Structure 1
Amino acid sequence: MPRPAEQDAVSSLSRGLALLELFSMDESELSISEMARRAQIPKSTTHRLVTDLLEWGALERGRGGVRLGVRLFELGSLVPDHARLRELAIPFAHSLNQITQLTSNLAVREGNEIIYLEKISARDLRVPHSRVGGRLPMHCTALGKAILAHAPVPFIERVLSEPLVRLTPATITEPEVLRRELPEIRTRGVAYDIEESQLGLFCVGAPIFARQGQVIGALSVTGATSLDQARRFSGAVHAAANALSHALGAPLSPSTRYAGRRVATVTDIS
Structure 2
Amino acid sequence: MSDGEPSGVLAKALAVLQSFTVEDTTLGFAELQRRTGFAKSTLHRVLADLVASRLLDRVQGRYRLSGLVFELGMRASVERGLLEVATPFLEDLYVRTHELVHLGTREGSEVVYVAKMGGHRQADSPSRLGGRMPLHATAIGKVLLAHGPAEVRGATLRGPLERRAPRTITNADVLSRQLSEVVAKGVAYEYEESAVGIVCVAAGIFDPADGIVAAVSVTGPVHRFQPARHAHSVRAAAAGISATLGRRAELRER
Partner of residue 106, structure 1: 103
Match of 2:70 among 70, 73, 76: 73
- The aligned amino acid for 1:230 is P
Q: CA offset at residue 91 of structure 1?
A: 0.8
Larger deviation, residues 142-151 vs 39-48? 39-48
Aligned residue-pair number: 244
Matched, 1:244 2:241: yes
SS at match of 1:119: strand
User: How far off is 1:63 after superposition?
Assistant: 6.2
The C-alpha deviation readout for 1:215-264, integer Å capped at 9, x for no partner, is: 211001111125961122222111111121122229xxxxxxxxxxxxxx
What corresponds to 1:115 in structure 2? 112
User: Counterpart of 1:249 in structure 2: which amino acid?
Assistant: G
Q: How far 1:113 moved relative to its partner? A: 1.1
Residue 137 of structure 2 contacts residue 169 of structure 2 at CA under 8 Å; is this kept in 1?
yes
Residue number in structure 1 paired with 2:3? none
The whole-number CA distance in structure 1 between the counterparts of 2:125 and 2:225 is 22
Q: Could you say if the C-alpha distance between residues 108 and 36 of structure 1 is closer, same or farther in structure 2, counting changes exceeding 3 Å?
A: same
Aligned to 1:39: 36
**CA 155–232 in structure 1, closer or farther in 2 if over 3 Å, else same:** same
TM-score (norm 1): 0.82
Q: Does 1:60 align with 2:71?
A: no
Sort the Cα spacing of 1:126 and 1:32 in 2 relative to 1 into closer, same or farther, 3 A: farther
> In 1, Cα distance between the equivalents of 2:144 and 2:81?
19
* Mean Cα deviation higher: 118-127 or 191-200: 118-127
Counterpart CA distance in 1 for 2:60 and 2:237 is 42
**3-state secondary structure, aligned to 1:196:** coil
Question: Which residue in the other structure is 2:137 paired with?
Answer: 140
Q: Partner amino acid for 2:226? A: Q
> Equivalent residue for 1:201?
198
Identity %: 39
Which residue matches 2:4? none
For 2:164 and 2:25, locate their aligned partners in 1 and report how far apart those are by CA, in whole Å.
20
Aligned residue for 1:6?
A: none
Q: Partner of 1:24 in structure 2?
A: 21
For 1:186 and 1:63, the matched residues in 2 are separated by: 52
Contact 2:123 2:221 in 1 (8 A): no
Which deviations, in whole Å up to 9, do the C-alpha atoms of 1:25-51 show, x marking residues without a partner? 332222101211331212233123223
CA pair 209-18 structure 1, distance change in 2 beyond 3 A: same
Tell me: CA distance 1:12–1:188, structure 2 relative to 1, closer, same or farther (3 Å): same
Going from structure 1 to structure 2, the CA distance change for 1:199 and 1:65 (only over 3 Å counts) comes to farther
Which structure 1 segments of 5+ residues have no match?
A: 1-9, 251-265
2:189 counterpart SS class: strand
- What secondary structure sits across from 2:133 in the alignment? strand
Q: How much has 1:117 moved relative to structure 2?
A: 1.5
- Tell me how far apart the structure 1 counterparts of residues 227 and 59 of structure 2 sit (CA, whole Å): 39
The verdict on how the C-alpha distance between 1:48 and 1:127 changes in structure 2, with shifts beyond 3 A counting, is farther
Q: Within the alignment, does 1:221 sit opposite 2:244 as a pair?
A: no
Partner amino acid for 2:231?
Answer: S
Amino acid in structure 1 at the alignment position of 2:213:
I
Report SS of the residue matched to 2:105.
strand
Q: Which residue identity lines up with residue 189 of structure 1 in the other structure? A: G
Q: Paired residue for 1:88, among 85, 90, 112?
A: 85
Q: What's the CA shift string for 1:180-219, capped at 9, x where partnerless?
A: 1112222322111121112221221101111111121100
Judge conservation of contact 1:29–1:64 (CA < 8 Å) in 2.
Answer: no
- Aligned Cα root-mean-square deviation (Å): 2.3
1:260 corresponds to: none
Letter in 2 for 1:14: A
1:207, 1:107 → 2: CA distance?
10
